[in-house]
């Protein structure tokens, strides 16, 4: 029997963790002579107070949904894929190749082709660490984090060489017009009234929502999902039931890598419309915190991604309109990650004792 009810694990613990992170962040802001309440209001108004702010919040959240889902599905098999950053970079390479070298007639077809290429390149990059774990026993954490650096080096090599556009900047040429995705500004333009003006949010957000539904259906409504969860709960029991560990490791990591790679259709095809250095911008690592906060469930990942999108856009507004240094804003974001991830047990254990005492009473 679980010590805590399910709602406490899914809702109460993350909420308390966020409150603790907010309190500590407020103390940090107070220590440098700023008003925490004014800073919070500025973050809310900057991230949620206009369609422009919402557009940036949704744009960041879209990246985090893909990388969060990538971590979450690997976690169902008790594997810790921290290679989302590298897989997203390789996904960007796949997007750039198909957008630059295939003449697409319309953005709808280009989106399908780019999504397939991003998923294929991301999955291929995850396949090597998966094979090393399945066949050689190499730990997935070590190999995936090493592959992040290899992916960054490979992209640097290509962007100053074979894929470099004329000029000084290490980036590809702009994608042709038919490969450009419609932004929210294009989609929600009603004559004299235009929403999301200047914001990078685009149609990829709806692809991310579809990915959440896909992962939920796969993990909880298919035989493969049952095998993945069974393997995660007990590898020996899964083997006794006839489930192949090699198959589960390979298939799960391929799906995880594909999801991380698909982030590139948002930032590479949708926003930049070309491939640039450091295109992933740390989203692969933020996906770890998103999955932890979302309890490795697609709906939880969606909510956590929106929270981190808020933190990113709100933090940008703080850096722009206050004297709070950018480094301190990163500290505030890190506190949320710390409390929702690394210090989860600090909140969980007292709550478990409380619920146990209440049950005995």
Q: List Cα–Cα distances, 115 to 205, 291, 315, in angstroms.
A: 13, 22, 30
Overall average pLDDT of the 239-252 stretch? 96
Task: Label residue 326 by pLDDT band (50, 70, 90).
Answer: confident
Q: Which residue has the tokens 């077809």?
A: 109
Contacts of 32 (CB under 8 A, 6+ apart): 324, 328
Residue 288 lies in a domain: yes
C-beta separation of 147 from 90 below 8 A: no
User: Residue 10 belongs to what H/E stretch?
Assistant: none
Q: How many domains does the chain fold into?
A: 1
3-state secondary structure of 190: strand
Domain of residue 75, CATH code:
1.10.3470
Contacts of 41 (CB under 8 A, 6+ apart): none
Residue 118 lies in a domain: yes
Residue 164 lies in a domain: yes
Token reading at 21? 């992170």
Predicted confidence (pLDDT) at residue 213 exceeds the cutoff of 70: yes
Q: What is the DSSP string of 97-153?
A: HHHHHS--SSHHHHHHHHHHHHHHHHHHHHHHHHHHHHHH---HHHHHHHHHHHHHH
Residue 80 lies in a domain: yes
C-beta separation of 305 from 68 below 8 A: yes
Q: Report pLDDT digits (tens) over 327-338.
A: 887 888 788 878
Residue 328 lies in a domain: no
* Strand positions, DSSP E, the chain: 189-190, 193-194
- Predicted TM-score (pTM) of this structure: 0.94
Report pLDDT for 11.
84
Residue 8 lies in a domain: no
Q: Is 273 left (phi over 0), alpha (psi -120 to 50) or beta?
A: left
Residue 331 lies in a domain: no
C-beta separation of 147 from 129 below 8 A: yes
Q: Distance between CA 86 and CA 88 in Å, rounded?
A: 5
- Residue 262 lies in domain: 61-307
Q: Report pLDDT digits (tens) over 106-139.
A: 999 999 999 999 999 999 999 999 999 999 999 9
Q: Distance between CA 92 and CA 171 in Å, rounded?
A: 12
Partner residues linked to 229 by β-bridges? none
Token reading at 153? 């080096």
Handedness of CA 45, 24, 85, 228 (dihedral sign): negative
Higher pLDDT, 321 or 200: 200
Residue 97 lies in a domain: yes
Q: Report pLDDT digits (tens) over 50-84.
A: 999 999 999 999 999 999 999 999 999 999 999 99
Predicted confidence (pLDDT) at residue 1 exceeds the cutoff of 60: no
């Amino acid at each position: 029997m679980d010590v805590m009810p399910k709602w406490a694990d899914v809702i109460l613990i993350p909420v308390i963790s966020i409150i603790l992170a907010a309190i500590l962040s407020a103390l940090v802001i107070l220590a440098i002579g700023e008003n925490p309440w004014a800073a919070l209001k500025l973050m809310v108004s900057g991230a949620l107070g206009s369609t422009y702010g919402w557009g940036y919040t949704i744009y960041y959240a879209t990246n985090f949904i893909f990388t969060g889902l990538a971590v979450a599905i690997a976690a169902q098999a008790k594997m810790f894929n921290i290679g989302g950053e590298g897989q997203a970079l390789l996904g960007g390479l796949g997007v750039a190749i198909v957008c630059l070298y295939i003449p697409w007639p319309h953005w709808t077809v280009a989106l399908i082709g780019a999504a397939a290429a991003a998923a294929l390149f991301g999955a291929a990059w995850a396949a090597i660490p998966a094979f090393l774990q399945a066949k050689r026993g190499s730990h997935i954490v070590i190999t995936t984090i090493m592959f992040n650096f290899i992916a960054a080096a490979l992209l640097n090599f290509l962007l100053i060489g074979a894929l470099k556009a004329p000029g000084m900047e290490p980036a590809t040429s702009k994608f042709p017009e038919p490969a450009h995705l419609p932004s929210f500004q294009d989609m929600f333009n009603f004559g004299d009234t235009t929403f999301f003006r200047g914001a990078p949010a685009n149609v990829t957000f709806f692809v991310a929502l579809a990915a959440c539904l896909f992962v939920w259906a796969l993990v909880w409504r298919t035989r493969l999902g049952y095998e993945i969860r069974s393997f995660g709960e007990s590898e020996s029991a899964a083997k006794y039931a006839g489930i192949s560990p090699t198959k589960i490791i390979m298939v799960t990591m391929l799906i995880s890598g594909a999801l991380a790679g698909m982030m590139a259709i948002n930032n590479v095809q949708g926003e930049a419309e070309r491939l640039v250095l450091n295109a992933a911008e740390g989203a692969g690592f933020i996906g770890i915190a998103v999955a932890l906060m979302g309890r490795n469930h697609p709906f939880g990942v969606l909510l956590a991604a929106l929270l981190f999108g808020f933190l990113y856009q709100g933090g940008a507004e703080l850096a722009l309109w206050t004297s709070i240094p950018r480094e301190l804003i990163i500290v505030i974001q890190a506190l949320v990650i710390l409390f929702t991830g690394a210090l989860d047990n600090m909140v969980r254990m007292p709550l478990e004792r409380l619920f146990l005492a209440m049950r005995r009473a």
